[in-house]
Structure 1
Amino acid sequence: MFKKEGSNMNNKVVKSHRIITALQNLSLTEMRLIQLAIIDAREQEAGLQTNKPLKIHAKRYAEAFDVQIDTAYKILAEAGKTLRSRYFKFINYRENEVETNWVQQVEYIKKEARIEIIFTVAVVDEITRLSSHFTQYDLEFIATLNSIYSVRLYELIVKWLSVKQTDVFDYEILRGQLGIGVNEYQRMTDFKKRVLDLAVNEINEKTDIKVSYSQEKNGTKIVGFKFKVNKKAQKTANTKTLERDADTADMFTIEGLTDKQLGRITRSPQFIKDYSDRISASSDINRDMNLWSTHFIQELKKDA
Structure 2
Amino acid sequence: MKNELVVKSNQVIEASYRLSVVEQRVILSAIAKIPKMCEVSDDEIYTVSVQDLKALGIHEKTAYRDLKEAVNRLYDRSISLDMGNKLVKMRWVQRVEFTDNQSAVALRFSKDILPFISNLKANFTQYLLSEVSKMQGVYSVRIYELLIQYKEVGGRLISIDDLRIMLDLGTRYKTTGNLIAWVITPAIEEINELTELKVIAKPTKTGRKFTHISFTIKNKPTSKKDIVEKIERDPDTLDMFYKMTDSQINMFGNQLARLPELAHLAVGNESYDALASRIKDMLRDPIKQTQFIPYLRNLGFAQIK
Q: Aligned match of 1:152 in 139, 142, 154?
A: 142
- SS of 1:137's equivalent in the other structure is strand
Q: Aligned match of 2:168 in 163, 176, 179?
A: 179
Output the CA distance in 1 between the equivalents of 2:122 and 2:36: 19
- SS of 2:121's equivalent in the other structure is coil
| Change over 3 Å in CA distance of 1:96–1:135 after alignment to 2 | same
Residue correspondences, number = 223
Contact map agreement 1:104 1:120 (CA 8 A) in 2:
yes
Match of 1:126 in 2: 116
Q: Does 1:37 align with 2:30?
A: yes
Match of 1:264 in 2: none
Contact map agreement 2:7 2:118 (CA 8 A) in 1:
no
Deviation at 1:34, TM superposition (A): 0.7
| Change over 3 Å in CA distance of 1:47–1:115 after alignment to 2 | farther
| Change over 3 Å in CA distance of 1:139–1:128 after alignment to 2 | closer
Contact map agreement 1:16 1:126 (CA 8 A) in 2:
yes
Deviation at 1:227, TM superposition (A): 0.8
TM-align CA RMSD: 2.3
Provide the TM-score with structure 2 as the length reference: 0.68
Output the CA distance in 2 between the equivalents of 1:220 and 1:47: 50
Deviation at 1:205, TM superposition (A): 1.5
Deviation at 1:149, TM superposition (A): 1.0
Output the CA distance in 2 between the equivalents of 1:75 and 1:18: 28
Contact map agreement 1:30 1:83 (CA 8 A) in 2:
yes
Match of 1:188 in 2: 176
Deviation at 1:197, TM superposition (A): 1.1
- The letter of the residue matching 1:89 is S
Q: Which runs of 5+ in 1 are unaligned?
A: 1-6, 236-304
Deviation at 1:179, TM superposition (A): 3.4
Output the CA distance in 2 between the equivalents of 1:44 and 1:70: 37
Contact map agreement 2:18 2:168 (CA 8 A) in 1:
yes
Output the CA distance in 1 between the equivalents of 2:210 and 2:216: 18
- Cα distance per residue 1:54-107 (max 9 Å; x no partner): 1111112212x1433222211111023211111111112x43111111111122
Match of 2:52 in 1: 60
Contact map agreement 1:107 1:115 (CA 8 A) in 2:
yes
| Change over 3 Å in CA distance of 1:142–1:202 after alignment to 2 | same
Deviation at 1:17, TM superposition (A): 0.3
- Cα distance per residue 1:130-183 (max 9 Å; x no partner): 1121101111111111102111100001111111011x2121220122232x22
- SS of 1:193's equivalent in the other structure is helix
Output the CA distance in 2 between the equivalents of 1:184 and 1:207: 27
Q: Does 1:212 align with 2:200?
A: yes
Match of 1:268 in 2: none
- Cα distance per residue 1:211-260 (max 9 Å; x no partner): 0122232222111112110011237xxxxxxxxxxxxxxxxxxxxxxxxx
Provide the TM-score with structure 1 as the length reference: 0.68
Q: Aligned match of 1:90 in 73, 77, 81?
A: 81
Task: Please give the residue correspondences for 1:108-127 in structure 2 after superposition, counting only pairs within 5 Å.
Answer: 108-127=98-117
Query: What is the aligned-residue identity percentage?
Result: 28
Output the CA distance in 1 between the equivalents of 2:189 and 2:128: 19
- SS of 2:222's equivalent in the other structure is coil
Output the CA distance in 2 between the equivalents of 1:12 and 1:227: 24
Q: Which runs of 5+ in 2 are unaligned?
A: 224-305
Deviation at 1:193, TM superposition (A): 0.5
Q: Does 1:169 align with 2:161?
A: no
Q: Aligned match of 1:234 in 217, 222, 232?
A: 222
Output the CA distance in 2 between the equivalents of 1:148 and 1:45: 31
- The letter of the residue matching 2:115 is D
Contact map agreement 1:26 1:179 (CA 8 A) in 2:
no
| Change over 3 Å in CA distance of 1:201–1:98 after alignment to 2 | same
Contact map agreement 1:47 1:118 (CA 8 A) in 2:
no
Contact map agreement 1:13 1:38 (CA 8 A) in 2:
yes
- SS of 1:202's equivalent in the other structure is helix
| Change over 3 Å in CA distance of 1:47–1:128 after alignment to 2 | closer
